[in-house]
A and B are shown apart, each in its own frame.
Chain A
Amino acid sequence: MMYVHPALIMIIGALLAPLTKGVVRKCVMVATPVIAFYIVTTMYSMTPGDYGVMNYLGFELITSRIDKLALVFLHVFTLMAIIGAVYALHVEDSSQHTAGFLYVAGSLGTTLAGDYLTLFVFWELMAVASTFLVWARREKRSIAAGYRYLLMHTFGGLVLLAGIFLRYHEVGSMEFTAMLPEHAGVAEYLILLGFALNAAMVPLHAWLPDAYPEATVTGAVFMCAFTTKTAVYVLARGFAGFELLAIMGAVMTLYGVGYAVIENNARRILAYHIISQVGYMVCGIGIGTEMAVNGAVAHAYAHILYKALLFMGVGAVLEMAGTADLSKLGGLYKRMPVAMVFTIIGGIAISGFPLTSGFVSKSMVIAGAGNAHEIGLMLMLTLAAVGTFLSVGIKLPYFIWFGKDSGVEPKKKLPWNMVVAMGIAGFFCIFIGVVPGWLYKMLPFAVDYQPYSAYHLSETFQLLGFTALGFYVLRKKMVPKEKLNLDLDIFYRRALDGFMAFARNPISPVNEWVSELYRVVGYRIALGAAAIASRFDVSIIDGVVDGVAHKVRETGDYVRHAQTGKLQQYIAIAISAFFLLVLLVANI
């Protein structure tokens, strides 16, 4: 059978979306990810290895490197693409579909890339396409946030590219292989930095809670799945066993939940929880044992589905009620029960309730940390799990569906396709929890782990139960405030301001200031002279109109004269600068 790159299918789908209308487009939107998913399932029967190898300018490009690690990510990415496409089925704006599919294509291409150049190209495609998902919301805040998002990602991309080329210079190969911590130099750490930015590793995370809550309802569902998890995948492939990652990952888990506890906007809470959940994966990769990496991968799989479910549920609330601010919601259980049921399924999955996907994946990372005798990390991860249940499992549903009745009425009916998409995701959240072997079979290493042990169940029951008790005790304090919480995005916002000030003040004047000065002074003198002359003129000649016409021409001449004076200086400066440079160089 001929091998077709699944990213190609997504690209074709992306091109077809704006060209079709109505039912045909809906068919295209469902068929595209389904075909991609089918191709991925057929890959399981292919011999692991390199496919689609091309020679490109002397670089050997490996467009598809198929192995177990890549396959499990491809599996969940294409599954997620189906869910996302169904969820977005009712959206008329075709640019969103195109952007969404290109974004998925970028993610699939990155996952299959066997060399850095292919990886980089798809990596950037992801950044650009996802920006349009933010911009598509067409609100002032989202345009600004999307712009910052794109700037951050292209910056990260450049760091990555710099690392890639330094490494190419040192190693002489573009191949993307696992790196060893003890051999890592500047090149490797630059690459790591580029990956870390996409994985939203603290302190490079601020773009995520900045941009995701500003994306469209359907765009956020796509975004929550791909950027960070693709980064997790490349980290797992390239940087397993880097201790720095283990520590950073644990810090991320706590950082994310910390902010989630005080946030008010439901989608921002979920965005912070991406940081937290990705922290588990990064930590598992950093620990680097087979079990921990397995746990990280399993968690990525489970996380994509339940986080998408959460974003879909909250997105449904946003779609119907027009806001995702907890302070403006409350008591909606009677009016939006469907969204409630699915959000709560997502919420208990992310909290790791038994019989949900989070239980069987998160515990694998934590046990991986424990088995590697990283007790400190293990306790940090467990504490983060407490915070997760506190903010997503209890606080978020409590303030949307229970608590004080806000009286918010749904403005629209929930489109059927959104319910179907939530149903699919919800099914997998439970299914994986009940049949963990299905997921474990796909993991890159053989699994020797049983999540449903008596003690693990007891531990989970106690943690969850007493967290709920803690919430009950502090429920008055938990009421979210309508405030903005500073995060590290303040640095890049400020840096941008400062940078522009630098460009505006010492750099630009070389041209602008001089020419403004000339313009102002030149015109002033010209106008002054014209005014005097015209007074004189008026007093002598009766025809005012004639006089003015005459003056206008004269003024024009004068201004032109003043401007040519500037030109002499321009030329003099340019030529003397040139000779100065020649002399400087000649003396070197």
Chain B
Amino acid sequence: MSALVNLISYLRSKPNLLMGLFTLMLGVFVLFDAFATRHGAHFAGDRVVGFWAIFGFGGTIIMTKFMKWFAHEVLIRPLDFYDDKKEGEE
């Protein structure tokens, strides 16, 4: 375990290295997609190179932005919101 902890500590001290590796990895993924054979294509999106990359990134952004907005507008209440309501009892 300590080796793992040391590795994490090392990586955290080198954010640029981490980012570099991450960017390289993303690049490899898209490149790999350009060469992958499309057997089980279900719809048009499956034929576009990098479609799932855009889908993943876009989905993350939209989902997060939307939920944060929705939570802020509608859902959020103070933590003790239900407490003064006696929890459905009596």
Chains A and B come from one and the same complex: yes
B85 to A497, Cβ gap below 8 A? yes
Contact among A262, A471, A497 for B60, CB-based, below 8 A: A471
Residue numbers in A under 8 Å from B1 (CB-CB) = 337-338, 341
Q: Name B's interface SS.
A: helix
Determine whether A370 belongs to the interface, using a CB cutoff of 8 Å to chain B.
yes
A465 to B40, Cβ gap below 8 A? no
Q: Whole-angstrom distance between the alpha carbons of A402 and B13 in the complex?
A: 12
> B2 CB to closest chain A CB, in angstroms?
8
Known: A147-B88, A462-B30, A466-B60. A262 touches B54 (CB 8 A): no
B4 to A470, Cβ gap below 8 A? no
Contact among A402, A456, A458, A467 for B12, CB-based, below 8 A: A402
B42 to A375, Cβ gap below 8 A? yes
Known: A367-B40, A386-B60, A467-B57. A484 touches B82 (CB 8 A): yes
> A558 CB to closest chain B CB, in angstroms?
34
Chain A contributes a number of interface residues (CB within 8 A of B) equal to 63
Contact among A367, A378, A458 for B36, CB-based, below 8 A: A458
Interface size range on B against A: 35 or more
Q: A402-B8, A486-B81, A493-B88 are in contact. List 18 more A-B contacts (CB 8 A).
A: A147-B89, A258-B66, A334-B9, A367-B42, A373-B42, A386-B60, A386-B63, A459-B52, A462-B33, A462-B53, A472-B22, A474-B64, A477-B68, A483-B79, A484-B81, A485-B76, A496-B88, A497-B88
**10 closest Cβ pairs, A-B complex:** A470-B60, A144-B87, A370-B42, A466-B56, A466-B57, A462-B52, A458-B36, A496-B88, A463-B56, A462-B53
Question: What is the interface of chain B, defined by CB distance below 8 A to chain A?
Answer: 1, 4-5, 8-9, 12, 22, 25-26, 29-30, 32-33, 36-43, 46, 50-57, 59-61, 63-68, 70-71, 74-79, 81-82, 85, 87-90
A-B contact pairs, 29 of them (CB 8 A): A258-B63, A258-B67, A261-B63, A262-B67, A262-B68, A262-B75, A337-B4, A370-B42, A375-B42, A454-B37, A455-B37, A455-B39, A455-B40, A458-B29, A458-B33, A461-B29, A462-B51, A462-B53, A465-B26, A465-B29, A465-B56, A466-B52, A466-B57, A470-B61, A477-B68, A483-B76, A483-B77, A493-B85, A496-B88
